[in-house]
Amino acid sequence: MKNCCFILIVSVLLFSCSTEPLDRTIFIPDENNRNLPAYSEWGYNSFGAKYERSYFLVSNDIVPCKIVYSNNQLQFLLSGTITYSDKMSLLFTFPSPKIPDYKELTQLDDYKINLADSTVTVIIMQEGKTNEVIDVIEGSLHFKRTQLLSIDDEVNRVILSGLFNIRFSQDGFPSSISDGRFDLGIIEDVFVAN
């Protein structure tokens, strides 16, 4: 009986120390709009925004974020679905301080990007459609908080939390992506520096 209890306790402890649950998406609905995730800073691997009358949301089947740093530019890619079925990605490319390693993403703490600036590019990629560089009228991407998450005194991931909004011209008509928020746990596997 003692051996059985010991094995059970060890199994529970080993499972609780696993980092796999940290990689899953946790969607906690916003209290004002239950279609969007609540803003958080816990590394829930979640994001969402209103896209016209639809929603651009994180999906459990798609890696929510990938980041590339190259030539003083950061590419920040959010990938999910639009209206729960069609795959969509939103790619922000903007000037950035040097980030040679994913742990250095903490430099983005309280970093604000004017998406209408001529040095910034925003691309919408939808399944079955041509990638579209959008003509931003106004918008912002705000890395509100960045923090290191350590497990057993070793950095495990960087948590990036923030907000985004974009008003843009699409085929000559105004469109918008609004109430955007993200809370992402960035690990080495989803970051590349060239």
pTM, two decimal places = 0.88
The structure tokens listed for 113 are: 């990007």
The pLDDT of residue 20 is 65
pLDDT score recorded for residue 7: 37
Write out the two tokens for 30. 């916003």
Point out the residues of the chain with pLDDT beneath 50: 1-19
How many Å is the maximal CA-CA distance in the chain?
Answer: 74
- At 79-122, the pLDDT tens digits run 999 976 799 999 999 999 999 999 999 999 999 999 999 999 99
Burial of residue 110 (CB within 10 Å: 0-12, 13-18, 19+) is exposed
pLDDT recorded at residue 54: 95
